[in-house]
């Protein structure tokens, strides 16, 4: 691939090398590499089901160490709210209340969720604010036909002369209404972090945000943190980072040539949430909880959520403590019985090294293999029973080198044209709610470089358009997918009540988001 001098200047100004761009173009030419799923991870086959007694033990284990561990909550929050309101942007474009009834429009769209939405407008957390704006801006609003009122409600919910919710970051959309205030997803993440991420009265939360939204987040923080610190008697330390432009990926034409914009410049796109491995890599903490911005619970479920968060944290600290002890013994010199104990721990507790026949290895080879596989970043991931929600799932995966490991695999990574792979995918019993607790310090207290544990081959090619022209885009290995492919991984079953996402605005009408 030959680049012009202008191309090279553009590439280097983004902090990328021409060689990196050529490597990405090579991925396009090669095409998607599907993950080879071996079998679905299920309870007692890759997913731990924790008994009540063990849960209590793990809670105590975590709480006994909580104030001695540097804890951080990491929240990917760069997404805009636009997708939440997609159906309502369409309504503003396509529905004319002067010439069509709302009932006919809903029938035409065959979307019964719209009917439920308009039937329960008063249950939206921001209903009063939208109605107040619509009433102030529209003469004789109260006398208008209901279809016209509903149309104007949507308009003042979304557009700039109203609440402008569609142009807000998702984290700053009001999710819940309390007696004295509206709470955004941002605020709810701070509140729930107190229950499981507080260390000696201090709570650290890091949000990855779009650079153009940072000021809005800071304004929200200034508004809510003084009140939350008074209510919770905790001090909040909130930090932010952006997706680094260096993680943008080149887009190509259908012929795998660099796609160029109207100015003839190479077009780069954000690389997806997998780019955040760089943001995560820069964090300083012993223990990090990862949770998506749109997944928050209401007060009556906070105690349950905290219980399971602490349980996951306790499981990680328990496994980490044992791992560090073994690594220290390996340095000091371990006997045959100890090596056998470590082999069993590695394979049964950390789900790693199952393809290695340790009996065939010499002692030095065993020690080398154990050190390599034990000394890796560690994550414990909550998994909920599959109830039809979109998202990746837990699978046993066979890698090219023969290693078998637990992975979170997205549907797009599976070759559904392959009967056997499709059949395995359908056998999945659980899915990934992005409920992760992790640590990436070694037994000496040094941080791992997380880039070394990414499976680059799990990048994904997607078809997109720009200015009406088709192009191919490259998504980096997902943060909790290929981005953590070479971590030691444990899956634990958690109740579905701990998972409460908001993918569309209608999700705010679910009982699990109604505070009253």
For 380-514, where are the alpha helices, taking DSSP H only?
Answer: 419-426
**301-317: per-residue pLDDT in tens?**
999 999 999 999 999 99
Which pLDDT score, from 0 to 100, does residue 390 have? Answer: 62
Within-domain flag for 459: no
Distances from the Cα of 228 to the Cα of 188, 215, 236, 430, angstroms = 10, 20, 9, 35
Q: For the chain, what is the radius of gyration of the CA atoms?
A: 25
What's the 3-state SS for 416-452? CCCHHHHHHHHCCCEECCCEEEEECECCCCCECCHHH
Within-domain flag for 415: no
Q: How many domains is the chain partitioned into structurally?
A: 1
Taking 70 as the pLDDT cut, the residues of the chain under it are: 1, 389-390
What's the 3-state SS for 137-150? HCCCHHHCCHHHHH
Sign of CA dihedral 114, 120, 123, 126: positive
**89-99: per-residue pLDDT in tens?**
999 999 999 89
Within-domain flag for 240: no
Within-domain flag for 137: yes
Which pLDDT score, from 0 to 100, does residue 334 have? Answer: 83
**How many helices and strands in the chain, by DSSP H and E?**
15, 20
Within-domain flag for 88: yes
Q: Give residue 157's domain range.
A: 82-162
Within-domain flag for 337: no
CB atoms within 10 A of CB 23: 12
DSSP letter, residue 401:
T
Give the orientation angle of helix 302-332 with respect to helix 185-197, to 10 degrees: 50
Which pLDDT score, from 0 to 100, does residue 416 have? Answer: 92
Which pLDDT score, from 0 to 100, does residue 320 have? Answer: 98
Which pLDDT score, from 0 to 100, does residue 468 have? Answer: 85
Chain centroid to Cα 453, Å, comes to 18
Within-domain flag for 208: no
Q: How far apart are the first and last CA of the chain?
A: 61
Within-domain flag for 235: no
């Amino acid at each position: 691939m030959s680049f012009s001098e202008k191309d090279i200047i553009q590439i280097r100004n983004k902090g990328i090398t021409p060689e990196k761009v050529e490597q990405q173009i090579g991925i396009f030419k090669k095409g998607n590499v599907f993950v080879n799923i071996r079998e679905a991870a299920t309870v007692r086959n890759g997913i731990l089901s924790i008994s009540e007694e063990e849960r209590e033990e793990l809670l105590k284990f975590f709480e006994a160490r909580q104030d001695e561990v540097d804890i951080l909550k990491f929240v990917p929050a760069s997404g805009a709210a636009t997708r939440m309101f997609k159906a309502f942007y369409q309504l503003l474009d396509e529905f004319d209340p002067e010439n069509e009834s709302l009932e006919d429009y809903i029938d035409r769209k065959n979307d019964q969720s719209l009917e439920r939405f308009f039937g329960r407008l008063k249950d939206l957390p921001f209903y009063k604010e939208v109605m107040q704006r619509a009433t102030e801006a529209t003469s004789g609003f109260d006398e208008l036909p209901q279809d016209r009122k509903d149309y104007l409600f949507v308009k003042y919910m979304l557009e700039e002369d109203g609440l402008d919710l569609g142009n807000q970051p998702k984290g700053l959309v009001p999710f819940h209404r309390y007696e004295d205030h509206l709470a955004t997803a941002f605020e709810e993440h701070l509140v729930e972090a107190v229950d499981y991420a507080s260390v000696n009265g201090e709570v650290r939360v890091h949000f990855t945000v779009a650079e153009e939204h940072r000021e809005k987040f800071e304004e929200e923080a200034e508004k809510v943190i003084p009140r939350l610190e008074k209510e919770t008697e905790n001090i909040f330390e909130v930090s932010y980072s952006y997706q680094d432009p260096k993680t943008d990926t080149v887009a190509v034409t259908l012929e795998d040539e660099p796609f160029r914009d109207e100015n003839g410049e190479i077009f780069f796109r954000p690389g997806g949430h997998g780019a955040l491995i760089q943001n995560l890599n820069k964090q300083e903490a012993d223990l990090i909880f990862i949770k998506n911005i749109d997944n928050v619970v209401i007060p009556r479920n906070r105690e349950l959520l905290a219980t399971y968060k602490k349980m996951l944290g306790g499981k990680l600290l328990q496994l980490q403590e044992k791992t560090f002890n073994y690594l220290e013994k390996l340095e000091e010199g371990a006997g045959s019985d100890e090596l056998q104990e470590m082999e069993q721990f590695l394979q049964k507790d950390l789900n790693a090294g199952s393809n290695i026949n340790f009996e065939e290895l010499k002692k030095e080879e065993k020690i080398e293999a154990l050190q390599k596989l034990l000394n890796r970043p560690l994550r414990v991931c909550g998994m909920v029973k599959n109830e039809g929600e979109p998202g990746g799932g837990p699978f046993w995966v066979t890698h090219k080198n023969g290693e078998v490991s637990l992975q979170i695999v997205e549907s797009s990574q599976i070759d559904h044209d392959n009967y056997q792979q499709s059949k395995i995918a359908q056998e999945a019993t659980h899915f990934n709610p992005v409920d992760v607790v992790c640590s990436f310090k070694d037994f000496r207290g040094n941080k791992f470089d997380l880039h070394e544990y990414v499976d680059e081959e799990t990048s994904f090619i997607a078809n997109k358009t720009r200015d009406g022209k088709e192009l191919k885009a490259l998504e980096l290995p997902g943060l909790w997918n290929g981005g953590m492919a070479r971590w030691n991984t444990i899956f634990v079953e958690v109740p579905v009540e701990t998972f409460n996402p908001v993918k569309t605005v209608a999700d705010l009408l679910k009982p699990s988001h109604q505070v009253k």
